[in-house]
Amino acid sequence: MRLFATCARGLEPVLADELRALGADQIEPGRGGVAFAGDQALLYQSNLWLRTAIRVLRPILQATVHSADELYDAVQTVDWSRYLTPEHTLAVDCNVRDSALTHSHYAALKTKDAICDWCVRRWGRRPNVDVRTPLIALNLHIERNHAVLSLDSSGESLHKRGYRPILTKAPLNEALAAGLLMLAGYDGRKPLIDPMCGSGTLPIEAAWLALRRPPGLTRKRFGFQAWLDFDVGLWTAMRDEARRGVGRRLPAPIAGSDRRRDAVAFARANARAAGVGHLVTFTQRDVRLLVPPAGPPGVLICNPPYGERIGTDEELRVLYGALGEVLRRFAGWSVWLFTGNAALAAEIGLEPVRSIALFNGAIRCRLLGFEP
């Protein structure tokens, strides 16, 4: 079957590599995601293992539509008895771009009406709508009048790992954090330090990667579990095998620190919720006091504030200047900085050897690599 995994813009190559490692075929990176082919087992594996994906979609309809009526007629051509019954609840999420149909909410409503009308003709009953926790979630994407309607196999966004119930002011998305680590070349075999850890997302994702712990291992529900063709035996065996493969000890130390006491408390609580509280070290410390630990060099990576939500310009210029002095102490280390402010990054005073364009939500950012 053809599938499509969505991700933050800029992470498409990383997601493509993840899919290759899972054995996917016909991998085609695109804008905001990667198309690929695979069987039912790969669909389950993708939801269980992909660290950078947001959703895994299964397209069931593609059509050219120039109006709401054309969209309605196209949706009516689908044999919906293959995917749902009147006992299912459903919801349609939609996004449109550069199309004759300009209102995503209206397009979603017409799609829902077409499905419900089809069901009434077939069974004399229609499924109910549940926008919060539908049994059958559908994704409609319309770009340049080309509509793709997909089953959402993930349900809730895959970046929601379940370990971070309390958010700090500017939390880093878990899937993006995992992508930053992989772009930085982190594989779990070297020490890792995040000296501005906030809620601890980078160290926690690093621990899961190092332990080969799937991000979806303890997730309570995936969208595909309500599908008519759900193979509970296949899914249970796959999940149990993955659980047996999780490591118990980190190959190398992982540590985070932050000057704020509340951030460190959040990070420790999140690490405990993620099952790695006994493995990852969090310390309250101003970044200016950071020195390389004893032992072999590793990876230093951080996501300092860059003025979108936290800090004034003058405060941040001073901070980035001080951060540059700290980074110079880490000769031999692989050093990475994720920021959405090029002017602030220049205050570091080091020339990056790599610069990778990414997005943090709608904010254009860069992951900068240094060799102090």
pLDDT of the residue at 341 = 92
Q: Say yes or no to pLDDT of 308 above 60.
A: no
Average pLDDT on 326-347 reads 95
Domain boundary among 119, 152, 185: 152
**Do 26 and 142 sit in the same domain of this protein?**
yes
Residue 76 sits in the same domain as residue 197: no
Give a yes or no: residue 73 inside a domain: yes
Last residue of a domain, one of 121, 152, 183: 152
> Sign of the CA dihedral 101, 105, 106, 111?
positive
C-alpha 16/C-alpha 29 separation (Å) is 6
Q: Do 148 and 181 lie in a common domain?
A: no
In what order do the strands lie in the sheet containing 25-29?
25-29, 33-37, 2-7, 53-64, 146-152, 136-143, 89-97, 128-129
pLDDT at 192: 98
Same domain, 107 and 207: no
Question: Residue 226 domain-assigned?
Answer: no
From residue 17, give the alpha-carbon distance in Å to each of 20, 51, 65, 241: 5, 11, 33, 22
Rounded mean pLDDT, 202-225: 97
Q: Does 307 have pLDDT greater than 80?
A: no
53 and 199 co-located in one domain = no
Cβ-based neighbours of 249, under 8 Å, separated by 6 or more? 279
Number of domains in the chain: 2
What percent of the chain has a predicted confidence (pLDDT) above 90? 94
Give residue 33's domain range.
Answer: 2-152
Poorest-confidence range of 165-179, 228-242, 266-280, 353-367? 165-179
The strand pairing partners of 371, in sequence order, are none
Residue 321 and residue 265 share a domain:
yes
Nearest-angstrom CA–CA distance, 321 and 115: 58
Contact 211, 250 (CB under 8 A): yes
Q: Is 181 inside a domain boundary? A: yes
270 and 358 part of one domain:
yes
Average pLDDT (301-305) is: 94
Q: Would you state the pLDDT for residue 172?
A: 86
Residue 278 pLDDT greater than 80, yes or no: yes
**256 lies in the same domain as 335:** yes
| pLDDT tens by residue, 356-365 | 999 998 899 9
Coil, helix or strand for 133? coil
First-residue to last-residue Cα distance in the chain: 47
Average pLDDT (241-270) is 97
Write the pLDDT tens digit of every residue in 163-174. 987 565 556 899
Residue 286 pLDDT: 96
Q: For residue 223, is it within any domain?
A: no
Which neighbouring-strand residues pair with 58? 151
Together in a domain, 98 and 31: yes
Cβ–Cβ < 8 Å for 47, 224:
yes
**d(Cα 173, Cα 340) in Å, to the nearest integer?**
14
For residue 256, the cross-strand partners are: 194, 282
DSSP state for residue 16 in the 8-state scheme: H
Are 151 and 4 a contacting pair, CB within 8 Å?
Answer: no
Q: Is residue 104 pLDDT above 60, yes or no?
A: yes
In terms of Cα–Cα distance, which of 160, 158, 150, 79 is closest to 115?
Answer: 79
CA angle 112, 116, 120 (to 5 degrees): 170
Same domain for 185 and 89?
Answer: no
Assess if residue 60 is contained within a domain. Answer: yes
Measuring CA to CA, which residue among 20, 147, 44 is closest to residue 12?
A: 20
Residue in 348, 355, 343, 340 with CA at minimum distance from that of residue 372: 348
- 39 assigned to some structural domain: yes
- The arithmetic mean of pLDDT across residues 157-186, rounded, is 87
* CA distance linking residue 49 with residue 36, whole number of Å: 15
State both tokens at 311.
Answer: 């800090």
Domain check: are 315 and 355 in the same one? yes
- CATH code, domain with 304: 3.40.50.150
| CATH at 77 | 3.30.2130.30
Structural domain contains residue 193:
yes
Same domain, 201 and 80: no
Mean pLDDT of the chain: 95
Q: Helical H runs in 157-219?
A: 174-183, 201-210
Query: What is the model's pLDDT at position 306?
Result: 82
Which pLDDT belongs to residue 372? 86
37-57 mean pLDDT: 98
Structure tokens at 17: 């590599």
Contact 217, 50 (CB under 8 A): no
Determine, yes or no, domain membership for 309: yes
